[in-house]
Amino acid sequence: MSAQLLDGKLISEQIITEVRAKVDARVAAGRRAPALAVVLVGDDPASAVYVRNKKTACERAGFRSLSFEYPASLTEAELLALVRKLNDDPEVDGILVQLPLPKHINADRVIETINPHKDVDGFHPYNFGRLALKMPLLRPCTPHGVMVMLEKTGVDLVGKDAVVIGASNIVGRPAALELLMARATVTVCHSKTRDLAGKVAAADIVVAGVGIPNFVKGDWIKPGAIVIDVGINRLENGKLCGDVEFEVAKQRASWITPVPGGVGPMTIALLMQNTLDANIHLYP
Ligand code: NAD
């Protein structure tokens, strides 16, 4: 058996096209276009690429994007002052502070300072808490993207055994909350988990967000399982690869996401969706 591919590029384009249509209709009705403020501190090359992709997506979605780029020497107080200014700006709907931040800045403090209704990354404790309470508002983009992809398979998630590998605040933890909200039975694995192979082998759905290339062996996958690979790892030859041994896993899974072209583009599409939702919430 060879798995069907979940094409994140295609699905994300569909989402952005739908967002664009709603934006065009709102603008035609006399409203201003949604605006996303993107803040980049320091010169991390991967962050620079992510920020560039987000700005390009804003153009495609018909948004205004405001760019704030600072050297790594920016102080925490200066960054917090910028966030507060953006919170108070009625022309700004979404605030995205690209992570990771330089070590001298407390990222948690920055995230907590963002107005939760402009927190389009969905990382503020208010939005995270709402997700945990099954009343999500702005949902973390990557796990939300995972759920949209699972929905595209047409498979009913209720009662399915899902294994999430990784428990970070950005990927694993919110992905587990999303799957629980969809009424799957969720096992969250992390660096201290015992018998990971055995847990994966029993799973109908595997979501991997570890950050180690080819960490999840293809022959662990239960025949017919759905495999969502969130990992984005750069190999020495410059190529990108996921956390799952794709070629082997593909022979066993029913559905699988490629890397690149899987969850990555979905994250950006859901960011656009969140920015439109924030705009509509602030200015119904
Ligand atoms: P992280 O380092 O914060 O978290 C990694 C998690 O993996 C931790 O919970 C850790 O306990 C777990 N882990 C580490 N070693 C393990 C092991 N041996 N067995 C089981 N679990 C183990 O990383 P992150 O920010 O969550 O990112 C994970 C991956 O997802 C990275 O490759 C990152 O690039 C990628 N990512 C992709 C997107 C996207 O848009 N597709 C978004 C965010 C992150």
* pLDDT above 80 for 1: no
pTM: 0.97
43 catalytic residue (yes or no) = no
Amino acid (1-letter code) at residue 280: I
Does residue 36 have a pLDDT over 80?
Answer: yes
Which one of 93, 119, 121, 243 is the catalytic residue?
Answer: 121
Mean per-residue pLDDT of the chain? 97
Ligand 1 interacting residues, C-beta cut-off 6 A: 142, 165-168, 170-172, 189-191, 193, 196, 209-211, 230-233, 263-264, 267
Cα four-point dihedral sign 69, 72, 74, 77:
positive
Residue 54 appears among annotated catalytic residues? yes
Q: What is the pLDDT of residues 17-29, one digit of tens each?
A: 999 999 999 999 9
Q: Give the strand order in the sheet containing 4-5.
A: 4-5, 255-256, 226-229, 205-208, 161-165, 185-189
Among residues 54, 118, 222, 250, which one is catalytic? 54
DSSP label of 71? -
Beta-bridge mates of residue 189: 165
Contacts of residue 199, Cβ cutoff 8 Å, sequence gap at least 6: 163, 187, 189, 193
* 220-229: average pLDDT: 98
Q: Give the list of residues 6+ apart from residue 1 with CB closer than 8 angstroms, or none.
A: 223, 224, 251, 252, 254
Q: 161: which strand partners?
A: 185
pLDDT of residue 199: 98
pLDDT (tens digit per residue) in 254-270: 999 999 999 999 999 99
The pLDDT of residue 9: 98
Q: Are strands 240-241 and 233-234 parallel, antiparallel or unpaired?
A: antiparallel
Measured CA to CA, the distance from residue 60 to residue 237 in angstroms comes to 31
The tens digit of pLDDT for each residue in 147-165 reads 999 999 999 999 999 999 9
- Whole-number Å distance, alpha carbon 155 to ligand 1 midpoint, is 25
DSSP 76-107: HHHHHHHHHHHHH-TT--EEEEPSSPPTTS-H
Ligand 1 pocket: which of 139, 170, 210 to mutate (most atoms <8 Å of CB)?
Answer: 210
Rounded to 10 degrees, the C-alpha dihedral 267/271/274/278 comes to 160
Q: Of the residues 98, 160, 199, 222, which is catalytic? A: 98
H helix runs in the chain, sequence order: 8-28, 45-61, 76-88, 107-113, 125-132, 141-153, 172-181, 196-201, 246-250, 263-282
Active-site residue, 160 included: no
Ligand 1 atom at minimal distance to the Cα of residue 263: 41
Give 201: exposed, middle or buried? Use CB within 10 Å, 0-12, 13-18, 19+: middle
